[in-house]
């Protein structure tokens, strides 16, 4: 089960990947989710990665891959 912010973030990342082919920056994610700091984005991404929804691609900037969508998406 994802939190509302985690769900919102994974949808935003997937949408941006479909539109541009590039992962959004931490600043773009922070603004899209109306968060106060980029550390909040980092915590959300880490939680999604631990739960198997996202994967960070090593040695690349702005490189996130959506592995699976939430069932209720």
> pLDDT digits over 15-34, tens only?
999 999 999 999 999 999 99
Where does the pLDDT of residue 73 fall: very low under 50, low under 70, confident under 90, or very high at 90 and above?
very low
Q: What is the pLDDT of residue 53?
A: 96
Count of CB atoms situated within 10 Å of the CB of 41: 22
Q: What is the pLDDT of residue 26?
A: 95
Q: Kindly give, in sequence order, each residue whose CB lies less than 8 Å from that of residue 46, ignoring residues fewer than 6 positions away.
A: none
- pLDDT at residue 62 above 60? yes
Query: What is 4-66's CATH number, 1.10.10.10, 3.40.50.720, 3.30.565.10, 1.10.3300.10?
Result: 1.10.10.10
Q: What is the pLDDT of residue 72?
A: 56
């Amino acid at each position: 089960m994802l939190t509302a912010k985690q769900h919102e973030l994974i949808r935003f990342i997937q949408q941006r990947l479909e539109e541009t082919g590039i992962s959004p920056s931490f600043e773009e994610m922070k603004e899209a989710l109306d968060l106060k700091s980029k550390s909040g984005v980092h915590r959300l991404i880490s939680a999604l990665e631990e739960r198997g929804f996202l994967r960070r691609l090593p040695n690349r900037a702005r490189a996130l891959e959506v592995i699976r969508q939430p069932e209720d998406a």
